[in-house]
Amino acid sequence: MRAILVVNPQATSTTAGGRDVLAHALASQVKLEVVETDYRGHALAVARDAARDGVDLVVAHGGDGTVNEVVNGLLTDGPSGPLPALGVVPGGSANVFARALGVSHDPVEATHQLLSAIEAGHSRRVGLGLADGHWFTFNAGLGWDADVVATVADRRGKQTNALLYMRAAVTSYFRPRSGRLPLTVHVPGEEPEQVRMAFVSNTDPWSYLGERPVHLNTGSSFDAGLGLFALRKLTLPVVFRHVRQALRTEAKHRGRALVKYDDLAKLSVTAEEPVNFQVDGDLIGRRTRVDFASVPDVLTVLAR
């Protein structure tokens, strides 16, 4: 088996020692090439070339941004035809995709899980989301959550952690970058809804709060369509209500301000003026329209 290990040395919890241990362990079972990324988009380029060269496995060692780049690289030429399988060894601060797959947050244990999956031939197919030409593994959004991502991006470094995200959420709430512009959600067969934030899920739960899971669309999974969580208004009572509901073990969101759908094949979100748009926790830019689609059974992931 030919494999490439893509390492982001700038990710929060990656270390040279951890990289060497991981590479040595993988090299015992596969013909391995190790690539350390040194610029934004490097992981995408490596994964794209791996797919075109017929490599069997690409392992992403970094945070969710590294995983997202690798996924977009693997699917650069579309989902048709044979593609390398994806392996994930967490190295970031959140690692939402890895956790949703049941991969350990501990890189050593995650490496053991990956080696066991390779040896036993364990894999699974997952569905992904597609938004404005960008593949996403767990979520994408416009409005408040994208403003949070933009705020964190301005301060990103080795200090990225749950506290930084919480501070960014408070800052973005009281001083929204886009002035809290209205958005319009378009779901096929339904009347358009005007909202103040729109969050699209490909799986549940997700979290930037350490080990604390956040549930917005409990019906979302890698085997179903997209979930939409949107709020018509963002007053403090509305926000507190839904934050409290999201942090419950058995989350059941209710409220007059809520617009919620599960298992959607597609939807669109529009705005009269450009607003921030994020994919898998990375800021993409500002948009006045984003079309979302669920693409089922598109990628093979090595996971038990």
**Each residue's pLDDT expressed in tens, for the chain with a length of 304 residues:** 999 999 998 877 778 888 888 999 999 999 999 999 999 999 999 999 999 999 999 999 998 999 999 999 999 999 988 899 999 999 877 788 998 999 998 888 999 999 999 999 999 999 999 999 999 999 999 988 888 887 777 665 545 666 776 777 777 777 776 667 899 999 999 999 999 999 999 998 876 556 677 888 888 999 999 999 999 998 989 988 888 887 776 768 888 999 999 999 999 999 999 999 999 989 999 999 999 999 999 999 998 6
CA 169 to CA 166: how far, in whole Å? 5
**pTM score of the predicted model:** 0.90
Residue 218: closest CA among 256, 253, 190, 186: 253
> Rounded distance, CA 18 to CA 29, Å?
18
Q: Is the separation of the CB atoms in 268 and 291 below 8 Å? A: yes
The domains found in the chain, sorted by start residue, are 2-122 (3.40.50.10330), 135-296 (2.60.200.40)
Q: How many CA atoms lie within 13 A of 197 on its CB side?
A: 27
DSSP element (H, E) containing 115: helix 107-120
* Residue 247 CB neighbours (<10 A): 15
CA 15, CA 163: separation in Å to the nearest integer?
Answer: 22
